[in-house]
Chains A and B, each alone.
Chain A
């Protein structure tokens, strides 16, 4: 932000207020967390953080969050583009639906997804449902049961309790972030730039890649960062769809809750600090990318 041009008078006051606000709401709790983790001795801390169950949960959390964020990066952009650029029936309705993941209690989302995608669910069990149907039909025709029960299991979505299910719910909770950050930029976009590029002979792909995309890149990157951060911290919806087997399908937040349930506050805090540190590093890298791409965007 510019220091030459103060819209709000009294920089010391506003700065002081900002620092106080940040400290009270963010820094203080974080410090408390670090302090709690610091109660452990060094070797003890090391032991907690290298526990295979813990490392596996951290790996799962970050892998699933990264995949979810990347999927949202692509599809969020497409959704935002479609909502802004095209007019179709119920566009406003779809636009409103984007905010659902914000409003819906995540546990409800988790339950819904579990019902749909798990092995017995409507979609997750689609292979089994079809097989059962065919066999029932054959049975009434007196043909016995021609198909083994697992004949169509290849149709089953590979979500059952594994990373896939986790990724799906994380995509769900992260979707609005990308859409809602990119959308305003596309709305503000002056079509004259596109006309200019077109008059210079550029085709649509080139125009998108070289003219439009660089313009939405900063917003897009922040949207992806937000979606990623949200996914890392997500708990409520994931535990309903994951099998939650320690060391295999348990996310880091669940590890923390488990430790808390065992009154091992310091251990929980230590895992929390690890989670935060890695997230912070990732976000710093993303922010670095963003400011790199914003480098020359001083308003004309």
Chain B
């Protein structure tokens, strides 16, 4: 199912949290809402779900081109997964997953046998078939997360909305679960929006990323495009480490250039580093496995972070205090944004 929202605003007590948001999601797409804390991701997700109402004067929320703005949460057929799971504590895993089926009005309710079958197949899907009698308190965080997902899927939602689905988990489990989510999405193809403030997660899992900042969507594009052509300095800065160079644009306007640490070439020989290479002195070397982080100090005392691969670093054979040459390979230039 497609989701489209137009011109959505949301205020709490006079403070505008969402500002004129437009967003269109294709059927079967997996979209990440990425942004810093407080940027309004959860609020937007809750408006789409129908948990919160958008402000007066906002545009519609369309599911398959049908306006659902006035459709009650329970009737929108969405699956919502909460950041803290909100599993029912006094129900075991099986009953949690079966809840939505049992809660249906009598006419639509499947038979007990069908409920069991459906729940069992979801348990298999989340690979927790052997834990169906456990209670939420007896599960690990990752297992609870998967139960919450299965519970949402049980009612065959048209849309899946996940609020920081892996937020409360440690790094390894996160990585495992997000790949699992991607594979799951590839099998069931339900239109999905998930909220995250982890750029790596957003870029790795989603078809498209909507980067939010202060109640606005700054860029909405596929991961590669967001990463390689950030639409604004904010997006650039939010998506990874960067170096900021102040300078002048060709039109002699004051401007700034943003460069990723791995987009800086470094060499002992000025000619090898590339055109317009500048000198610097190594002030720190940090080993991080496959990538080595090198800190340089230029003649005008600015710091430059450079990342090189471990083999390159071995060839360079650098030590602290060595003099090197560096050149910017791929700089993004933005005229400073005066609009705040």
A188 to B240, CA, bound (A): 40
Q: Do A215 and B137 have beta carbons less than 8 Å apart? A: no
Of chain B, the residue at the smallest CB distance from A299 is B137
A199 to B46, CA, bound (A): 11
Does B175 make an interface contact (CB < 8 A)?
no
Shortest Cβ distance from residue A219 to the other chain B in the assembled complex, whole angstroms: 13
Which of the 9-residue segments B75-83, B182-190, B282-290 touches chain A? B75-83
Shortest Cβ distance from residue A184 to the other chain B in the assembled complex, whole angstroms: 17
- Which of A196, A198, A199 is most buried by chain B, counting CB atoms within 10 A of its CB? A199
Q: Do A199 and B51 have beta carbons less than 8 Å apart? A: yes
Shortest Cβ distance from residue B128 to the other chain A in the assembled complex, whole angstroms: 16
CB-contacts of A189-226 with B (<8 A): 190, 192-193, 195-203, 206, 210-211, 214-215
Query: A300 touches which one: B100, B137, B155 (CB < 8 A)?
Result: B137
Does A298 make an interface contact (CB < 8 A)?
yes
Chain B hits for A262, CB < 8 A: none
Which size bracket describes the interface of B in this complex? Answer: 20 to 34
A296 to B89, CA, bound (A): 8
Query: A192 touches which one: B78, B82, B90, B151 (CB < 8 A)?
Result: B82
Does A87 make an interface contact (CB < 8 A)?
no
A193 to B89, CA, bound (A): 10
Query: B84 touches which one: A192, A199, A210, A215 (CB < 8 A)?
Result: A192
Scoring B residues 127 to 164 as 1 if CB is less than 8 Å from chain A, else 0, what string do you get? 00000000111100000100000011011000000000
Known A197-B103, A199-B78, A202-B103; judge A211-B88 contact (CB<8 A): yes
Shortest Cβ distance from residue B167 to the other chain A in the assembled complex, whole angstroms: 14
Scoring A residues 248 to 262 as 1 if CB is less than 8 Å from chain B, else 0, what string do you get? 000000000000000
Q: Do B137 and A200 have beta carbons less than 8 Å apart? A: no
Chain B hits for A202, CB < 8 A: 74, 99-100, 103
Of chain A, the residue at the smallest CB distance from B103 is A202
Shortest Cβ distance from residue B98 to the other chain A in the assembled complex, whole angstroms: 10
Does B86 make an interface contact (CB < 8 A)?
yes
Q: Do A200 and B90 have beta carbons less than 8 Å apart? A: no
Does B214 make an interface contact (CB < 8 A)?
no
Does B73 make an interface contact (CB < 8 A)?
yes
CB-contacts of B84-105 with A (<8 A): 84, 86-92, 99-100, 102-105
Query: B86 touches which one: A190, A215, A293, A298 (CB < 8 A)?
Result: A190
Chain B hits for A197, CB < 8 A: 88, 99, 103
Q: Do A201 and B100 have beta carbons less than 8 Å apart? A: yes
Query: B103 touches which one: A190, A203, A293, A297 (CB < 8 A)?
Result: A203
Q: Do B136 and A199 have beta carbons less than 8 Å apart? A: no
Chain A hits for B75, CB < 8 A: 201
A199 to B90, CA, bound (A): 19
Which size bracket describes the interface of A in this complex? Answer: 20 to 34
Scoring A residues 263 to 283 as 1 if CB is less than 8 Å from chain B, else 0, what string do you get? 000000000000000000000
CB-contacts of B37-57 with A (<8 A): 49, 51
Q: Do A297 and B90 have beta carbons less than 8 Å apart? A: yes
Known A296-B137, A300-B89; judge A210-B51 contact (CB<8 A): no
Q: Do A300 and B87 have beta carbons less than 8 Å apart? A: yes
Interface of A, secondary structure class, is helix
Q: Do B104 and A201 have beta carbons less than 8 Å apart? A: yes
Of chain B, the residue at the smallest CB distance from A192 is B86
Chain B hits for A206, CB < 8 A: 103
Q: Do A199 and B49 have beta carbons less than 8 Å apart? A: yes
Of chain B, the residue at the smallest CB distance from A190 is B86
Chain A hits for B73, CB < 8 A: 195, 198-199
Of chain A, the residue at the smallest CB distance from B76 is A199
Chain A hits for B78, CB < 8 A: 199
- Which of A193, A201, A214 is most buried by chain B, counting CB atoms within 10 A of its CB? A201
- Which of B73, B89, B138 is most buried by chain A, counting CB atoms within 10 A of its CB? B89
Shortest Cβ distance from residue B123 to the other chain A in the assembled complex, whole angstroms: 17
A206 to B154, CA, bound (A): 17
Chain A hits for B49, CB < 8 A: 199
Known A200-B155, A296-B137; judge A195-B51 contact (CB<8 A): yes
A214 to B92, CA, bound (A): 13
Chain A hits for B51, CB < 8 A: 195, 199
Interfacial residues, chain B to chain A (CB-CB below 8 A): 49, 51, 73-75, 77-80, 82, 84, 86-92, 99-100, 102-105, 135-138, 144, 151-152, 154-155
Please provide the 6 A-B residue pairs with the shortest distance between their CB atoms, ordered closest to farther. Answer: A200-B100, A202-B103, A196-B86, A298-B137, A199-B80, A214-B90
A-B contact pairs, 18 of them (CB 8 A): A195-B73, A195-B86, A196-B86, A197-B88, A199-B49, A199-B78, A199-B152, A200-B103, A202-B100, A203-B103, A203-B105, A210-B91, A296-B89, A298-B138, A299-B137, A300-B87, A300-B89, A300-B137
